Amino acid sequence: MKQLKTAMLGLGSVHKNLISILEEKKAALAAQYGLDFKIIAISDSSGIAVNEDGYDMAAVLEHKKSGGRVSGLSGYQGTRQQHILNELALDLIFEATPVDLKTGGEALDICRSALIRGVSVVMANKGPVVQALSELENLAEKSGAGIGYSATVCGGLPVLNIARRDMVCGTITKISGVFNGTSNFIFDALAKGMSFDDALREAQNVGAAEADPALDIGGWDTAFKLLIIANSVLGADITLDNIAVDGIEDITAEMLIKEQEKGNIIKLVASAEEGRYSVRPEVLPMDSFLGSCNGWEMGVEIHSDIYGIMYHKLYEKEPIPTAASMMRDAVNIFRHR
């Protein structure tokens, strides 16, 4: 049995689900992969706590769910998270703190230092990946650490894995997708007669919108996902400047209803084809694959030279599939070591 000394950064929706999954699948992880995740460091916005013997994560989950913070746990070390982590003997860091898309934030520094010293990193946070994917991959290669970030693109929809693992020697000629549940929500609500502001509020109430809704509405959340796809599986080396981004702010109830009467629907579509990258609202037949990605669904359509045209759709209401993808990334890193 390999015991993985693990740090879990962030204790929000994603990691709460990951804790439950690791508990629920403990026996399967041991029996099928010989892996045991021992969480020796945890953090939230109050700082970081360390217990070299491993935390009772069910108790930590209860503590968080009842409004407790990491600062109230035994082993609390204060807020110098990166410093504490650098001093710890770790195998793995699970990173699910809030996204900082402008700089990558402290998460990027933490991932960098971890990878330099051979500590594997699995991220749900897009920030470090958007800012520095190739640098992080190079660091991982040099030190032999593993790096996983499949959860950064459409949560549990295994877009990156399909392209990497299941399309050996294939060339993707076009990829397009509906990657943003908030836009789906807003379009549905507008078509039902809600105002744009009420529709957005509703999306926030049901937990579909990012903390900063401008990311969803402006098309940026989708563009960041497209950027990660392009740079990690399409062999591109692009920045956000290479993606033509149009948000959904100008879509009105009248436009949606007019299209509905013709059997169409408007979706926020990300697309990459022949070196052109875009995110924009598109009119699609309602019964097309992407046109039928509604509510909590995300979908991707992958066109290729030898693997045909693939359609993958995921229904993800709570980030359980996202958390499961983090576990999968970690298992894939350590299963053969």
Ligand X SMILES: NC(=O)c1ccc[n+]([C@@H]2O[C@H](COP(=O)([O-])OP(=O)(O)OC[C@H]3O[C@@H](n4cnc5c(N)ncnc54)[C@H](OP(=O)(O)O)[C@@H]3O)[C@@H](O)[C@H]2O)c1
Token pair of 122 as six digits:
């699995």
- By CB under 6 A, name the one of 6, 43, 183, 264 that touches ligand X: 43
Q: How far is the CB of 204 from ligand X (least distance, A)?
A: 12
Instruction: Please tell me whether residue 322 binds ligand X under the rule CB under 6 A.
Output: yes
Known catalytic residue at 225: yes
Instruction: Please tell me whether residue 44 binds ligand X under the rule CB under 6 A.
Output: yes
Instruction: Please tell me whether residue 14 binds ligand X under the rule CB under 6 A.
Output: yes
Instruction: Please tell me whether residue 279 binds ligand X under the rule CB under 6 A.
Output: no
Residues 79-118 touching ligand X, rule: CB under 6 A, are 81, 96-99, 106
**Which residue stretch of 40-48, 128-136, 141-149, 281-289 sits at the interface with ligand X (rule: CB under 6 A)?**
40-48
Q: How far is the CB of 306 from ligand X (least distance, A)?
A: 31
Instruction: Please tell me whether residue 69 binds ligand X under the rule CB under 6 A.
Output: yes
Token pair of 125 as six digits:
């946070």
Instruction: Please tell me whether residue 46 binds ligand X under the rule CB under 6 A.
Output: yes
- By CB under 6 A, name the one of 4, 7, 10, 18 that touches ligand X: 10
Q: How far is the CB of 156 from ligand X (least distance, A)?
A: 8
Instruction: Please tell me whether residue 180 binds ligand X under the rule CB under 6 A.
Output: no
Instruction: Please tell me whether residue 124 binds ligand X under the rule CB under 6 A.
Output: yes
Instruction: Please tell me whether residue 299 binds ligand X under the rule CB under 6 A.
Output: no
Q: Kindly tell me which of 146 and 155 has the beta carbon lying closer to ligand X.
A: 155
Task: Say how far apart CA 246 and CA 249 lie, in whole Å.
Answer: 9
Instruction: Please tell me whether residue 201 binds ligand X under the rule CB under 6 A.
Output: no
- By CB under 6 A, name the one of 12, 170, 213, 285 that touches ligand X: 12
CB-side exposure of 142: number of CA atoms within 13 Å?
12
Q: Kindly tell me which of 132 and 286 has the beta carbon lying closer to ligand X.
A: 132
**Which residue stretch of 5-13, 25-33, 158-166, 294-302 sits at the interface with ligand X (rule: CB under 6 A)?**
5-13
* Cα dihedral value 191, 226, 242, 291, nearest 10: -30
Q: How far is the CB of 153 from ligand X (least distance, A)?
A: 8
Residues labelled as active-site residues: 225
Contacts to ligand X by CB under 6 A: 9-15, 43-46, 69, 81, 96-99, 106, 124-126, 151, 155, 319, 322
